[in-house]
Every structure is written in structure tokens, then in C-alpha cells.
Amino acid sequence: MGPNEGILCIAHSKDVDGIGCHAIAHRYATLKGIPIEHRFVGYMALCETFQEAAGGSWGEVIVADLGYNAGLEGCLDALRVLGDKTKVRWFDHHDWSGKGAVLQLPIEFHLRPEVCASEALAGALLPGDGVAEKVAAMARHHDFREEDAGAWRLYEVISSGYDKLRLVEALAEGVFWSEELEDCYRGYQRVKEEGYRYLEARTRLYKVGPYTCLLGFSRDELSSTLAASRLLEGGTDLVLCLWASGKVSLRRNNPSIDLRALAELFGGGGREEAAGGYLGHRVAEERYLEAFGEAAERLAKGLK
């Protein structure tokens, strides 16, 4: 088998579902003896990755746990070129309603909002495979915020910045925990506590439209979910967390707020209940209050 017949897996690496999709694709390829490469992407570099894929020569491209976002409109041509010459399967559970232009591309979409992306992928690639099912179950528990100590510990390992490919390879082999992961997990508990203290010292309450919103400025050591979950404990209608990179995360306590629509004000996307984007510039630590003002103003446009 030549290198041109391999699988390219494009998914994010921010949580158990994203990493789980990579792991299931990895296991599938390994069991079939097909070479596989992974691209760990975010919404920001997605088009570049599709352009790179379109310029390459792959046996199959698997895209997973990446929902529609406005940025995709900028690479429809690359996606069409890619889909015309390569089998592309796109597994996702985000909301794709009204996104006809992308859905008309020569891509096989498996859009299943009732499951997480890893479950959709496991069902299609490795039905009946115990390891894939276990990875998918952990991804589901994390994505749907269900009890699963193993899944949540794994999430903390992912948040700690542990080597993504190493974790994917371990999961693909059915190694769900190890001494090395335990060490990483323990080390991260200390880092996380410091991150919480830093965040709690840098929050401010805003009124945006009819809603209360707690804004926070976080260090990179806290992931979106961890930082935003901590902010949500304040009980406001919604929260917006900001990082030095300009990254923005939105979460809510009030289910009547559609965060995906708000995320579009930040060039991003996501789900109704969890979304994110970018402010558009970096934020220096000493100027986070200015950035809060800017973000709150933008939010107010969407929350009239």
C-alpha cells in the first residue's frame, strides 16, 4: 500500500469526543493495515487544513466532531475539489439546519444529533468492536455531561496539554488509563487550582440586554469547559470567558439563550449550549477589562 492510499482524519482535540474520533479512526486504520495521519484542528485553521487535504492524495478523508461554522463558506471550493477526487465522510452531531451550500458538496455526511460524533464514527467504522464502543461511551458521557469518572479524568489529561497523538494511540489500543496518565492527571490538579484562583481574581459582571453575564479572563492552563464551568457557578444567565490569545468561550445557565448565534459575533460557532470564537486580537493581561468591555458590547448586539 502506497502512502497515497492512507486515511486522513480531521477532528478537533479539545475534548473526549474529538480525541475519541481520532482514536476510533486510528483503530480502524490500524486493524485494516491502512496508514493514517491525524490533523488536530480548531475552527480557525479548518479551511487551511481542507486546502492542504485537497492538494494531497488520500485514500479517504474522515472529518469528525466539527460542526458547520461560517468560516467553511470560505473553503467551499477546496472541499469540492477534495470531495470530487476522494471519498470524504463527515461525522457530526452539531446543528446543520439551513447549511445547504455545504451539505450539497460531494461529501458523505453522517449527521446524527442524538449521539456524539465518536458514537456515530464507531457505529459506521467498527460496529461491535469493544474498544471503539468504550471510547465512544466515554465521549458520549463527557459530551452529554453524564457521570463517568474515567471520561472526566481523561478530559483533564486532554486539558493538561498531554501529547495528543500519544493519547490517541493509547486509546486506539484499548489503554484507557495508565501510570503515565495518572501522573499527568495529578500534576494537572495543582495547575488547575492555580488557574481557578487566577480566573476568579479576573471576573466582572455585566448586564447585556435583559441578561446577566459574568466575564472572566483565564490562563491557558484552563480549558474552555473548565474555565466556563467555574464561571457558571456564579449563576448568571450566561458567561463569557476570554484568553490572552483572544479566544472566547460562551456557556449558559439560561437555556433560552442561543450561544451559537452569539458565537457568530466572534467569528465562531458551536452548539446552542456551548459555543466559542475569537475576539479578533490578543489580550494583554493588564488590559483584560478593556477587552471585557469590547466583548460585552458585541454580545449586546446579539441580545437586544
Strand order in the sheet with 211-218: 203-208, 211-218, 238-243, 247-252, 274-278, 269-270
Can you say whether residue 175 is alpha, beta or left, with left for phi > 0 and alpha for psi between -120 and 50 degrees? Answer: beta
In three-state secondary structure terms, 303 is coil
Asked if 92 interacts with Mn ion (CB under 5 A), we say no
CB-wise, 117 or 137, nearer to Mn ion?
A: 117
User: What torsion do the CA atoms of 230, 233, 238, 242 make, to the nearest 10 degrees?
Assistant: -20
In three-state secondary structure terms, 16 is helix
**Residue 59's closest CA among 125, 4, 126, 10?**
4
Q: Least distance from C-beta 289 to Mn ion, angstroms?
A: 33
CB-wise, 120 or 262, nearer to Mn ion?
A: 120
Q: Least distance from C-beta 275 to Mn ion, angstroms?
A: 13
User: What torsion do the CA atoms of 138, 141, 145, 146 make, to the nearest 10 degrees?
Assistant: -130
CB-wise, 116 or 265, nearer to Mn ion?
A: 116
Q: Least distance from C-beta 17 to Mn ion, angstroms?
A: 3
Q: From the DSSP assignment, how many helices (H) and strands (E) are in the chain?
A: 12, 11
How many residues of this chain interact with Mn ion, rule: CB under 5 A?
A: 5
Asked if 143 interacts with Mn ion (CB under 5 A), we say yes
x/- string (CB under 5 A) for Mn ion, residues 2-21? ---------------x----
CB-wise, 69 or 236, nearer to Mn ion?
A: 69
With beta carbons less than 8 A apart as the criterion, state whether 112 and 93 touch.
yes
> Nearest to Mn ion by Cβ — which residue?
17
Q: Give residue 144's Cα distance to chain centre.
A: 14
β-partners of residue 269 are 276
Query: Which segment (2-10, 111-119, 184-192, 193-201) binds Mn ion by CB under 5 A?
Result: 111-119
Q: How far is Cα 128 from Cα 126, in angstroms, rounded to an integer?
A: 6
Going by their DSSP bridges, the two strands 203-208 and 108-111 should be labelled as unpaired
Query: Which segment (109-117, 121-129, 227-235, 273-281) binds Mn ion by CB under 5 A?
Result: 109-117
Q: Least distance from C-beta 65 to Mn ion, angstroms?
A: 4
CB-wise, 25 or 199, nearer to Mn ion?
A: 25
CB-wise, 143 or 221, nearer to Mn ion?
A: 143
Contacts of 245 (CB under 8 A, 6+ apart): 220, 278, 282, 283
Q: Least distance from C-beta 178 to Mn ion, angstroms?
A: 24
Query: Which segment (112-120, 148-156, 186-194, 265-273) binds Mn ion by CB under 5 A?
Result: 112-120
Query: Which segment (33-41, 100-108, 135-143, 187-195) binds Mn ion by CB under 5 A?
Result: 135-143
Query: Which segment (107-115, 116-124, 262-270, 289-297) binds Mn ion by CB under 5 A?
Result: 116-124
Q: Determine which residue in the list 65, 148, 156, 221 makes contact with Mn ion, applying CB under 5 A.
A: 65
Asked if 119 interacts with Mn ion (CB under 5 A), we say no
Binding site for Mn ion (CB under 5 A): 17, 65, 116-117, 143
